Amino acid sequence: MELRQLQYFVKVAKLQHVTKAAEVLHVAQSAVSRQIHRLEEELGVRLFMQKGRNVQLTAVGQLFLRRAESLLTDLDRAVMEIHEFLDPEVGEIRLGFPHSHGYHLVPRVVAAFRKLHPNVKFRFRQGMSASLIKDVAESEVDLAFISPFPEKNDLVTGEIILTEELFAILPDNHPLAMEVAIDLEQLKDETFVLFSPGYSLRSLVWEACLAAGFTPKIGFEGEETDTIRGLVSAGMGVSLLPEMALYQTSSMMPAVVKVRHPHVIRNVGLIRRNGIKLPTIVQMFHAFLLDYFKNEYTPR
């Protein structure tokens, strides 16, 4: 059994498609098919069955996938430990985060850490809360910023690192745009611009509106804070965004107003996979983040 066979098998299992796996692996489709066939011959079982144009794992294939992934993870960790032994300052940190952290928070902490450890590399992955938890649990990333913080999950562990306030954002010509603070109930008749379903900020704003006594009327949806800000600035509705999402990145900026009631906040957590030892450089970054958000971080 060859390492290459395990790598090809795992990639096909994940993508459920031989051709797509070959494209990702940058090899010919025939090479992938041949290695999978040899692996099945050696094991004496069928690992895949055809399902339309895709392939699907058999029951024994699902069992073998768990073991194959574990072997490849252990091998990657062993290689990383050797590199760390030779030079602890050289390594790669795989960091996940939601889109709303991509403009301000992540660049800020990464830049601060690389001043201390300039040779460290980063690999980033953006996603929604559910996908980030899955990425951490499956060791696709080492650490992830996440909001809301998962209170109960046996696969991941972590800590809340900061709490931030959400502000109302309004078009500049809105009657309430010049107010210092408002009650959310004052926006009950407005059209809201919200994140698409699945994004935690959508749920947070929705629940805040319900707490204020009304169900928000959704006029537009988006998947980026820049989109939400831009649509509001263009007069398409109102919304709520956390403070770190309100730094100016374009000329299209809405009015920002404090919300008195209900006081809307979100907790931002830092999670890692439960029950495993993080690589040395990731442990250093983790300790750096805890100290940074405790002693140095300010919203601006």
Using the 3D structure, point to which of 60, 84, 108 is the last residue of a domain.
84
Where among 84, 114, 144 does a domain terminate? 84
Residue 110 domain-assigned?
A: no
State pLDDT tens for residues 63-75.
999 889 888 888 8
* Domain end (from 84, 103, 129): 84
d(CA 232, CA 230): 5
215 inside domain? yes
Q: What is the pLDDT of residue 300?
A: 63
Structural domain span for residue 239:
163-266
Q: Are residues 79 and 167 in the same domain?
A: no
Q: Fill in the amino acid letter for 252.
A: M
Ranges of beta strands (E only) in the chain are 48-51, 54-57, 92-97, 121-126, 143-146, 156-170, 181-183, 191-195, 217-222, 239-242, 255-261, 265-273
Instruction: Say if 140 falls within a structural domain.
Output: no
Distance of CA 234 to the CA centre of its chain: 28
Q: What's the CATH number where 58 sits?
A: 1.10.10.10
| Tally of structural domains, the chain | 2
Answer whether residue 77 is part of any domain.
yes
Q: What is the 3-state secondary structure (H, E, C) of 86-153?
A: HCCCCCEEEEEECHHHCCCHHHHHHHHHHHHCCCCEEEEEECCHHHHHHHHHCCCCCEEEECCCCCCC
122 in a structural domain: no
Contact criterion met (CB below 8 Å) for 175 and 146: no
Position 127 in a domain? no
Tell whether 132 is covered by a domain. Answer: no
Cα R_g (the chain), whole angstroms? 23
The span from the first CA to the last CA of the chain, in angstroms, equals 54
In a domain, 102, yes or no: no
Q: What is the CATH number of the domain that holds 234?
A: 3.40.190.290
Asked whether the beta carbons of 238 and 187 are under 8 A apart, the reply is yes
- pLDDT tens digits, 41-57: 999 999 999 888 889 99
Residue 97 has pLDDT above 90, yes or no: yes
Q: Tell me: the pLDDT tens digits for 118-171?
A: 989 999 999 999 999 999 998 889 999 999 888 788 899 999 999 999 999 999
